Amino acid sequence: MNAFFVSSVAALVAASAASAGFTGFTADRVVLSNGNIQYKVFANFDAVGLPAGQSWVFLNAYSHATVTGTMNAVHQDFFTADGEVGTWQAGSSVSAADRDFDSWVTASGLATSSGWGTALDPGFTNGGTVGDVNNGAGWYDATPGTANTVTGGRMLMMQIVRTAANDTLYTANLSLTFKISGTSTPIQPGAAQYSIGPVPAPGAVALAGLAGLAGRRRR
């Protein structure tokens, strides 16, 4: 798998409003056998503030909000409602073999509707039967279990599949809550941006900067 860190460290730090534990979002990028592009978006955690032997428990994601671009998500479950195709429910109406080619959200790190369930909150348009995740949407763990815990590492939050032709830069804000396992400690919030799509190579960025400088000199 080709690790694809979708935001610079500076951008993640600037966008984050997290307490100890949550450190931001990253994504992995893979070209699928059919030519489509798959992005797995992860929430990253460290062990700061975590008692020995305990884990962070993911509770919910909320207030999804597009910053720039269009998500251009592709679905394989072909759920049609009001002229829209696809559902963001993980594992819904799609075979295990097709899950890598489908777009879905998860509150357990799993792409299945059995075991640990992922529920979509009322912010999802038409109950989640939309092509792209709409502004204000969120999801949560309806049946809490061990799969939604992490110590220092990352947990899968969503998978976005796009066609190669529509693999343009897309950035969104996403908030979440989590807590320490097995305790009554207060729920902790976190927020950051995630991005998918091509990132210019360092050489291209440098050339663009030189072109801009040359333009200013001519003026």
pLDDT tens digits, 145-189: 556 777 678 889 999 999 999 999 999 999 999 988 876 668 899
Residue 5's Cβ-side half-sphere holds a number of Cα atoms within 13 Å equal to 9
Look at residue 151 in the predicted model and tell me its pLDDT. Answer: 66
Intervals of the chain under pLDDT 50: 1-18, 115, 203-208, 211-212, 219
- Two tokens at 150? 């992490």
Residues 6+ apart with CB under 8 A from 162: 36, 37, 39, 71, 72, 73, 74, 196
Average pLDDT, the chain: 79
Residues 6+ apart with CB under 8 A from 156: 40, 41, 42, 106, 109, 110
pTM greater than 0.85 (yes/no): no
DSSP 192-209: EEEEES----HHHHHHHH
Give me the residue spans of the domains in the chain.
2-218
- Expressed in angstroms, the distance from the first to the final Cα of the chain is 46
